Structure 1
Amino acid sequence: MVQKYRQRISGPLLDRIDLHVEVPIVDFKALTSTQPGESSESIRSRVEKARAIQAARFKGLKGIHTNSAMTPRLIKKHCELDPECSGLMEHAMGQMNFSARAHDRILKVARTLADLKEADKIDADSILEAVNYRTLDRNLWS
């Protein structure tokens, strides 16, 4: 039934959505755990730092304040990949049949994930996580 419902959403529409996240059921032990998770204040601080990094990156560019607004030219400039990351992207593109639009969106999300880690370069973990956010409408790749 889930697959039937997902098929109602067109591929071109899904391509325009940056994050596809399937939220699993939270088990009882996790809900009743006394172990504290990451605080909202900590998360907010990380997001504010990432937003400041992006604001500095795009300072002086009219209408562009965040990674999501990057043009293809800016993606090439700010989302350079090392050979390992490039290989991961090539594998994902081939195995999952991603469109060019999905490719650019993956890079934007990976750049944001790297910003959240305050990293200058996009690393393999950021690429893999960004690819994972595109898999809701795809078969898992090996």
Structure 2
Amino acid sequence: MTGFHKPIPGWFRVIAVMLTIWGVVGVFACVQQFRLGAEAMGPADDYYRRLYATFPAWYNRIYAVATGSGLLAALALLFGSRLARPLFVVSLIAIVVQFGWLFLATDIIAVRGVAQVVPFPAFIAMVATFGVWLSDHAGRRGWIG
């Protein structure tokens, strides 16, 4: 190995910046949830207040792991580090644990409906999955290392 990276295409850098912005927004949302609880996304109704009150202590910690590792993964990608892939994997696992518990251990789907509660978490998981794929792709192309 020569130690040199191949030229990095512009689209890759744009996507890495977009993933970094996504990560910053995720960390901000997480901090808001820590600060405001059920009111983090605006005025909460009684159901969301009761639901949030039932969250186990680890729930917010896994949220922090999901968003924090996602932001670190995006930054690693942006700065050409192979740490991007394992960090995206950690983020994806935390996302699955977080929303898996929410959907399986609470009545949120029965109360609010699949169409209201599943699309955004599914999108979040798809972004993390894309991050895993992109970091693999970048590693194979020699854009990160």
TM-score, with normalisation over the residues of structure 1?
0.27
Q: When the two structures are superposed, what TM-score results if normalisation uses the length of structure 2?
A: 0.26
- Greater per-residue helix proportion: 2
